[in-house]
Amino acid sequence: MSGKNFYDYIIVGSGIAGLFTALLAKDAGNVLVITKSDLNECNTRYAQGGIAAPIGRHDSPELHFQDTIAAGGGLSNPEAVRILVNEATESVAQLIQLGVPFDTLDGEIALTKEAAHTVPRILHAGGDATGAHIETTLSRQVRLSRTKILEYCLATKIILNDGNVSGLEVLDTRTGSVEEFECRFLILATGGAGRLYKYTTNSEVATGDGVVLAYHAGAEVVDMEFFQFHPTALRLPGVLPFLISEAVRGEGGILKNVEGSQFMTDYHPEAELAPRDIVARSIVAEMKKTGSDRVFLDVTCLSPQLITTRFPNIYSFCLQHGLDITKGLIPVAPAAHYMMGGVKTNNWGETSVPGLFAAGETACTGVHGANRLASNSLLETTVFARRIVQKTRELKHSNNSETLPTSNNIVSLPLREKAASNSSPSISGLQSLMWNNVGILRSAQSMEEAAITLTAWEKLLKGIKSDRSSYDLYNLVITGRIMAEAALRRQESRGAHFRNDYPESSQAWERHIVFRKDF
């Protein structure tokens, strides 16, 4: 393969996963980064909490391992988690070398504590602007490098040759022109699918693109029933949900209901520092009990100086909307936040399609299991991006394509040939459907209704994809359908997946649900 449209690496996505991989890969071959919006528009820039790493004096990889396994609800891959915690320090060092300005205290990197971590191990930058600092730093470095960047271009199809990745079909969303690019390695780093939900902390680009691209290419998709809802997003009339970092509770913020009562001690011994899924469901229960659409986060017990220096973005955003959080309570409610499932990868980022890799939220490395430990996502991205580039260097020299073992118990999406809907597909309709039927609390009836509607919408949308908005909607419908069908199959509650009709965990379900397209 050769020519002006051939690249050793094509990377789809420009969050931390795509940019960090691009910076590592540039010395191993020529790189093309494709992103459907501006290079800086991604979920990474909105990440407030930080990046977890066992670098503190009272911390260790073993402690970090234990916390991650405990959060994962029995479904984390221990080998992948070992890799995560053992390679964390090197990944953080690389970010520092690239120029990420982590906050320091008395000459040492400052560390904070978040829910379900036994010790402080969260590095942050600019207080609560970690994601923005990482994104700005990496995007600047990529622009300064010789990396080719195509902005406002949407990946629409993975091109295969004898089952191996050979290239990518790309739509220029500004001109409508379609172009094909050849590559040796294709890395999907398109982020998650938070736009599936009515209330979300995610960027508008998070529409499940990577999952759908990989699924249509025959790759395995796993753990899609596990979607994390962040317990605390700002809930103000006319204001889009804005993340109120878990670190706010880590620093001592208290949750209160609309009647002014602290309630988390009624639900879990760790109270505000309980795992995210428990805090989110507790807030939902408290809202139902009080007949309100919100609870409050009280940080007035903290010093104003701590609030304004540790959480400058949150303080500033709330102040812009008439709320001084040093004096008043923060109205909050849960919102869709992070996709634990995704394109199934091994410990080197390889998928079941030779030449196809996945990184970041698009990938399911097995680290998070049923419930992501706070701030492990940015770390996971950097650790496994490094491993992807390492593996591709080996493959370039060996000239052999590897095929991963096929997973056990692979399932296909049911045909649902009689599926019908009284409504036409739309983003707003989809978001309400997923929020109400496949949200924080689930049941067989609600999820089956969603699955039937999504199947009908998929049929209506086939063949009419022509611009970014139509592709976004189509990708969200497919992603939502896989999620709904996976959640229907898992007849138990585990981690972020909670069913009213199966409220307990079952040992029989201590396994993964893997989907693959039935061609």
Percent with pLDDT over 70 in the chain: 97
Residue 442 lies in a domain: yes
DSSP letter assigned to residue 329 = P
Residue 1 has pLDDT above 50, yes or no: no
Q: What percent of the chain has pLDDT over 90?
A: 85
For 44, which DSSP code?
G
pLDDT tens-digit readout, 59-87: 999 999 999 999 999 999 999 999 999 99
Pairwise CA distance, residues 369 & 373, whole Å: 9
Amino acid (1-letter code) at residue 221? V
Last residue of one domain, picked from the residues 308, 336, 364: 336
Q: What is the largest CA-CA distance in the chain?
A: 68
Would you place residue 30 in the very low, low, confident or very high pLDDT band (cuts 50, 70, 90)?
A: very high
Mean pLDDT of all residues in 189-199: 97
Q: Is the pLDDT of residue 2 over 60?
A: no
Bridge partners (DSSP) listed for residue 172: 153
Residue 476, domain member (yes or no): yes
Supply the mean pLDDT for the chain.
94
Residues 330 and 420 in one domain: no
State residue 399's pLDDT score: 61
Q: Is residue 475, in this structure, part of any structural domain at all?
A: yes
Residues 331, 238, single domain; the answer is: yes
In this structure, the answer to whether residues 327 and 415 fall within a common structural domain is: no
What CATH number has the domain bearing residue 448? 1.20.58.100
Does 326 share its domain with 421? no
| From 235, 276, 281, 468, the catalytic residue | 276
Q: Is 276 a catalytic residue?
A: yes
User: pLDDT value at position 42?
Assistant: 65
Same domain membership, residue 417 and residue 327 = no
Asked whether residue 420 is assigned to any structural domain, the reply reads: yes
In a domain, 474, yes or no: yes
Closest CA to 493 of 505, 483, 485: 505
Distance CA 499, CA 506 (A): 12
Residue 114 tokens, joined: 């978040």
Residue 196: pLDDT band (50, 70, 90) is: very high
- Look at residue 408 in the predicted model and tell me its pLDDT: 78
Same domain, 239 and 323: yes
pLDDT at 45: 64
Residue 280 belongs to domain with CATH number: 3.90.700.10
Q: Do 205 and 46 touch, CB atoms closer than 8 A?
A: no
Q: Which domain holds residue 248?
A: 231-336
**Number of compact structural domains in the chain:** 2
Asked if residue 419 and residue 323 are part of one domain, the reply reads no
Q: Is residue 60 part of a domain?
A: no
Helix (H, G, I), strand (E, B) or coil at 205: coil
Does this model's pTM top 0.75? My answer is yes
The closest alpha carbon to 371, from 275, 272, 261, 233, belongs to: 275
Residue-wise pLDDT for 139-157, tens only, equals 999 999 989 999 999 999 9
Write out pLDDT tens, residues 463-500.
777 899 999 999 999 999 999 999 999 999 999 999 99
Among 313, 336, 359, residue at a domain's last position: 336
Q: Which of the listed residues 273, 306, 336 is the one where a domain comes to its end?
A: 336
What pLDDT is stored for residue 403 in this prediction? 59
